[in-house]
Structure 1
Amino acid sequence: MRFKALVIILGLDNYMLPCFTKQIIGIDCPGCGLQRSALFLLKGEYWAAFQMYPAIYPMLLLFAFLGFNKLSPIKYSNTITIILMISTVGFILTNYILKFI
C-alpha cells in the first residue's frame, strides 16, 4: 500500500485532466474513466478500477507483454500482440457501447 500513501502525498486527484469531448460535446469518449481507474489501481482498489474502466486490465496485460517481449523476444509475439490488442479494443468498445444503453 505504499502507492496509496504516495497518491495521497502527491495529491494526484488534483491533477487529473478533464475530458474535452465531454466538455464540448457533452458525451463520454471511449477513454473516459481511464485516469480515475489508474488512480484506483495505485490506491489498491482493484474492483473499483474495473468498475470505472473495465479495459484497464487487458490494457495493462498488453503493455506488460510488450515490455516483456522487448526484453526477451518471444517466438509468436506478433500473434499474441494482435490478440491482446483486439481484446483490449473489444473491451473499450463494449464498455463504450454499454454506457449508452
Structure 2
Amino acid sequence: MYHCKSLFFMNLEDFMLSCPSKSILGIECLGCGTQRALLLLFQGKFSQAFQMYPPIYTWLIFLGILTASVIDKKRSYSTLIKGFAIVHALVMVVAYGVKHQF
C-alpha cells in the first residue's frame, strides 16, 4: 500500500527548479536551499529545514508581512517591510558566510 503523503512529497522534488548561478557558474546563490527547506517544512521537519537553509523562517515571516500588506490596505506596512527585508538580507548573508566559511 502506498502512502499518498510520501508519494506527494517525493514527486515535488522532480519539479524543483535548478539554480542558474550554481548551474552556470558553479557557485551557490544566497537562496540555494530554499525549495528543499520548504519541502522539509511541509513534511514537518522543522530543524532539518533550518539546517538546509537557515533564513527559511525569516523568509516566511517576510512573506507573511508582504501578504498582510496586500490584504490590509488600511495600515501602512512599509516600515515593517523595509526593516524585515534588511533583517532577512543580513540573515541570508551571515548563513551564506557560515556555510562557505568566509
If the TM-score is normalised by the length of the shorter chain, which range does it land in? Answer: 0.7 to 0.9
Contact 2:69 2:76 in 1 (8 A): no
In 1, Cα distance between equivalents of 2:55 and 2:74:
24
Question: Where do 5+ consecutive residues of structure 1 fail to align?
Answer: none
Name the % identity. 32
Map of 2:58 onto structure 1: 58
Higher relative contact order (CA 8 A, sep 6+): 1
SS of 1:32's partner is coil
Q: Deviations over 1:51-98 (max 9, x none)?
A: 111111111101111111222246452111111100110111111111
TM-score, reference length from structure 1: 0.82
- Number of equivalent positions: 97
When residues 76 and 44 of structure 1 are mapped into structure 2, their CA distance, relative to the original with a 3 A threshold, is: same
Question: Where do 5+ consecutive residues of structure 2 fail to align?
Answer: none
What amino acid is the match of 2:78? N
TM-score, reference length from structure 2: 0.81
Q: Please, what is the CA RMSD of the aligned residues?
A: 2.0
